[in-house]
């Protein structure tokens, strides 16, 4: 992959919206948790091998992709009869920053920009990650999409966020690892967009679609 990150015109940006999982935090935790750990625990409960469990769960997960339920701890706890909160808590040591992200947030603080975390994570999943890494200290505001009823990839999300927390899309930067999210934000008018190409440190970089790709938020400043 060859992406030349264009330098951002920081004088034209007042508000920085940052995604959490796959943008600041290494998605390897969530990928491992949902693709390996949850199927293994589900299999244990229902007398299935991990492979059989994965096979059963894959279409159920896929059916919810792009919906808020996909990100909802309560939904999956009920759906799978597993205590997802407790399972996540037990594995919390594995939650970690992507390379350069904590340092970037420290530097961003000194730019005087509005720094908002905008995440599809359930408030409790955010809470666990915040307890581990102290995310909140880096932001002026933290928004989970759950109280707003739709995830970031749904076009209805952006006007709802605007109602709760007004910002000027023409002077806003969004950094996210999800192409559907970036597309919805672009359609709403968010002017500056950057796609994280390597959300999971265990996997090779991905193509950033029609967006400017960066390997890490560290490249932004």
Nearer to Mg ion, 153 or 177 (CB): 177
Q: Is residue 200 a contact point for Mg ion (CB under 5 A)?
A: no
Binding mask 50-79 for Mg ion (x = CB under 5 A): ------------------------------
Q: Is residue 21 a contact point for Mg ion (CB under 5 A)?
A: yes
CB 184 within 8 A of CB 158: yes
CA quadruple 221, 176, 123, 140: dihedral positive or negative?
A: positive
Nearer to Mg ion, 22 or 39 (CB): 22
DSSP-H helix ranges across 50-146: 50-64, 73-80, 84-90, 101-109, 123-133
Shortest Å, Cβ 176 to Mg ion: 6
Out of 13, 17, 18, 22, the residue judged to bind Mg ion by CB under 5 A = 22
Distance separating the N- and C-terminal Cα atoms of the chain? 21
Out of 177, 208, 213, 217, the residue judged to bind Mg ion by CB under 5 A = 177
Shortest Å, Cβ 221 to Mg ion: 20
Tell which residue, 53, 78, 50, 48, has the closest CA to residue 64: 78
17 vs 176: CA distance, rounded Å? 9
Binding site for Mg ion (CB under 5 A): 19, 21-22, 177
């Amino acid at each position: 992959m060859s992406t030349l990150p264009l330098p951002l015109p920081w004088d034209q940006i007042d508000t920085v919206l940052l995604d959490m999982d796959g943008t600041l935090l290494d998605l390897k935790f969530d990928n491992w948790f949902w693709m390996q750990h949850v199927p293994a625990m589900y299999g244990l409960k229902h007398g299935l091998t991990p492979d059989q469990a994965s096979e059963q769960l894959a279409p159920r997960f896929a059916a919810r992709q792009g919906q808020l339920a996909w990100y909802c701890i309560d939904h999956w706890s009920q759906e799978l009869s597993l205590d997802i909160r407790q399972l996540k808590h037990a594995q919390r040591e594995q939650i970690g920053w992507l390379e350069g992200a904590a340092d970037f947030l420290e530097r961003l603080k000194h730019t005087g920009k509005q720094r908002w975390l905008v995440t599809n994570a359930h408030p409790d999943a955010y809470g666990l990650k915040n307890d581990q890494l102290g995310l909140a200290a880096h932001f002026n505001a933290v928004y989970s999409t759950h109280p707003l009823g739709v995830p970031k990839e749904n076009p209805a999300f952006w006007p709802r966020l605007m109602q709760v927390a007004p910002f000027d899309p023409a002077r806003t930067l969004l950094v996210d690892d999800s192409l559907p999210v970036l597309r919805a934000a672009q359609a709403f008018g968010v002017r500056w967009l950057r796609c994280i190409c390597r959300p999971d440190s265990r996997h090779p970089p991905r193509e950033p679609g029609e967006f400017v790709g960066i390997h890490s938020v560290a490249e932004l400043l």
